[in-house]
Amino acid sequence: MGDIIDFFLGNPFLIIILIGIVSSMLGRKKQSQQSDAPNGPPKKKWQDVMRELQGEGQGNQQQGPAPAPVRKVEQQAPQAAEIIDETKNEANQRIAELRRLQQKYDQERLYQKAKADNIASAISDNRSPVYRKGPSFGKKQLIDGIIMSEVLGPPRAKRSLQRSRK
C-alpha cells in the first residue's frame, strides 16, 4: 500500500489526472441531483405528451390522471381576441409606415435620377465649355503613331541612354 502511495506522489501528472476524474464524477452527481430538484416544472417524455394529446383528441375516453387546473377556454377567448386585435393593429400601423417610407424613397430616387439626367445632358451638350469630344484612337492608330515617332525622331545613337532608362 505504501508503494502505491509513493508511486503516485512521485508522479504529479498522475495526481492531476486522478483529481480530474474525481471532480468530474462529483460534478455529474451534482448535476443529476439538480435535475431531480422540484424547482422547475416536471419534465415529461415526448411519449407521455403524445398519449395526452391523443387522449384529448379521442374525447377523453381514457380516464387518466387529471391535469393541473388551467384556465378554461372561455376565460382565455376574450383575452386572445384582444391580443389578436392589438397585434393586427400594430401590424397594420407598421405596414402603413413601411409603405410611406417606400413612397418617400421612390420619390427621392426619381428626383436623384432626374437630377443626374439633367447633369448628363448638360455635359453631353456639344456647345458646353465643360464637355469637349476628344480624339478617339484605336489600337491600330496608336501602334502606327509609335512607329512613326521612331522613324521621324532623332537617331538612337544621338539620344541619351539615361533618358530611356527612366
How does pLDDT run across 23-58, given as a tens digit for each residue? Answer: 888 887 766 666 655 555 566 777 777 778 777 666
User: In this structure, is residue 21 part of a structural domain?
Assistant: no
Eight-class DSSP state of 41: P
- The Cα–Cα gap between 12 and 14 comes to 5
Residue-level pLDDT at 88: 92
Q: What percent of the chain has pLDDT over 90?
A: 22
Joined together, the cell numbers standing for residue 23 give 471532480
The answer to whether residue 38 is domain-embedded is no
Q: Which domain holds residue 108?
A: 75-122
Which pTM value belongs to this model?
Answer: 0.30
Residues 6+ apart with CB under 8 A from 122: 128, 130
Establish if 49 belongs to a structural domain.
Answer: no
Q: At what angle do helices 2-10 and 12-36 cross, to 10 degrees?
A: 100
In a domain, 41, yes or no: no
Q: How confident is the model at residue 156 (pLDDT cuts 50, 70, 90)?
A: confident
DSSP 71-128: --HHHHHHHHHHHHHHHHHHHHHHHHHHHHHHHHHHHHHHHHHHHHHHHHHHHH-TT-
Quote the mean pLDDT of the chain: 77
Which run of H or E residues covers position 146?
helix 139-152
